[in-house]
Structure 1
Amino acid sequence: MMKIERPSREALIRYYRGESLPHEEKLIDLYLAMDIDHDYVESCLREAWHDLEDDPDPFDEQQPHAEWQQFQQRRSGLSQVPPKRKLRWLGYAASFALLVLGGVAALIHSKNSTPGQAAYTHYTSALGKRREVKLADNSTVMLFPGSTLDVPANFNDRDRNVTVKGRAFFEVVHNSNKPFLVTTGRLVTKDIGTSFEVNEFAAANTNTVTLLTGKVSVAYAGKEIAGLIPDQQISYQTSTNKYSINRIDARQSMAWINGELSYDLAPLSVICRDMEKWYNVKITIKNPDLLNKKITTSFKDLTVNKVLDMLSVTSGLTYTINDNKITIN
């Protein structure tokens, strides 16, 4: 009898997007028919949904199948997908709805609804504002401006799994019987009694995990790729599937949780990317020579104009401001 291996997270997400390679598709069909690994399958489906979703409004509870139809139609090149594939995709969405906590239908119409009605609770930190979230196990999450956190309704019942898009700091209450797992991008971070930061730079195809205290293990596609100790950071390049582990000053990197942005020889492009979310502005760097200019600086409780003035002195740049749009020359 042929042994069916669990597909990688990347392969399963491609499958839900309708982008599988022919040989992958057949194997994944067989794997899903086995009706196993519900939490893993749900997390992959959720990531595929978030990547394709463009409507932030809550969904109509009476139309789950219609919403899945819209989700399917949002994919580019839908007309090239065979009708059999469309029906099969919707069939999996419908059957999956019966498997996990009321399933996908609950997941779809749960956004921004009350915890008692939702399969998960969706937390968002607005641009220009941090947000602190206290979880049911007394762990604490601090969201960087513009980031999101998804917490299942059954969090802390049997396990503790959450999903982050953007940047977040975790202060985790350790429980050896209930591992704490954080999915961000393609990485899954497992707490071993610790405080740490996850950061997804989608535009730069980079995910990082930085450890402040304790220990964490970091996995990709279900396999552990690193075990971090304090002041270590793993940087994973999603475009190449390569990663590196570096020693950094974690406390400086995480100074933002106390309202301070601090950088040690960071590229100007990275600083500006953070400033866009921190101050809710749009920054364009016109001079390409400035993009990778290394800057050491820190600022707290300063207006964006004051920060730009400070950067002008240290780096020689000039800037103009028009409403919330900033151009750096």
Structure 2
Amino acid sequence: MNQFEFDQLLEKYLNGECTPEEIAFVEQWSENMLSMATSPLSVSEQQQMETQLWEKIQQTVGIKPFRWKPLALAASIVLLIGLGIKWYTWQDSPEHLIRESIASSNWGVIDLTNHSNKVQKLTLEDGSEVQLNPNSTISYPEHFGQKTRTVYLKGEAFFSIKRNPAKPFVVHTGELVTEVLGTSFTIKSYENAKAIEVLVRTGKVSVYERTKAENTRKNGVILTPNQKVIFEKESKKIIPSLVEEPVVIVPPVQPTQLIFEDAHLSQVLQRLKESYMIDFEIESDAFEHCVFTGDINDLPLHTQLNLVCKAVNASYEQRGTVIFLYGSGCK
């Protein structure tokens, strides 16, 4: 998040247009700024400063003052506008970080950009890990708030989140919000791309369109492992699907678990469902007595399905996050 973007966020806050996550982000920053104060002000000094602060705010961001806003936040905003933003950036060498400071003031928000040609890894305050792709930027507070762990992403990153049921991890990517308690997932959100993509590896992820109205979430889905969602920026459509190459989520207890001998088709599909956490549906009673014999261990899912379908005279297709089997079945 650069100076211009943060100025926009502050203006939204003062106009009462922020989402709950954005409100928490600004107020956490305000608390960090307030903790740096060296001495308290008297009542008369506070009143005098309040008048001066609102005059400065109106001149800077061009909005009308709201007297119910906390003085501490107003002071923090003016400090930010006056002192500028500190940010960090990676150099090409993955072993080093170069700190670039516009001002000596540490107001608690870090802006990291990967300028190298390799994926860069970082560990956040809560122990969560992020793998940031080249030409991508992540913004996050040095200290997370009491209710959420909120970060902002431009570009692509893989997140492995430390589980904390009391404090959800929230990733803002343009108009899309991804919220988790503890899981691993990838987000692709490039400015010039027509869509935002979220792919889940483990756990469960809530993905929804950002809305100005508080306590309102519209146009959202819940994703589980091997599922993904594509958010089309222009149409505002959220399209759930499966990842291109599903991987086994629950490893077989025994190496022979995916070796079948005269196993009913429903049993084979149930085993695949347990391994990949993907739903399968049979569309015809013609497969009721179909059986499968074969070893499909250590094969990609689509290869496994091709072998099973060939044996029972079936075809399959993916519709959303479910795989359907259809055909004439066994004779």
TM-score (norm 2): 0.48
Q: Is the helix fraction higher in 1 or 2?
A: 1
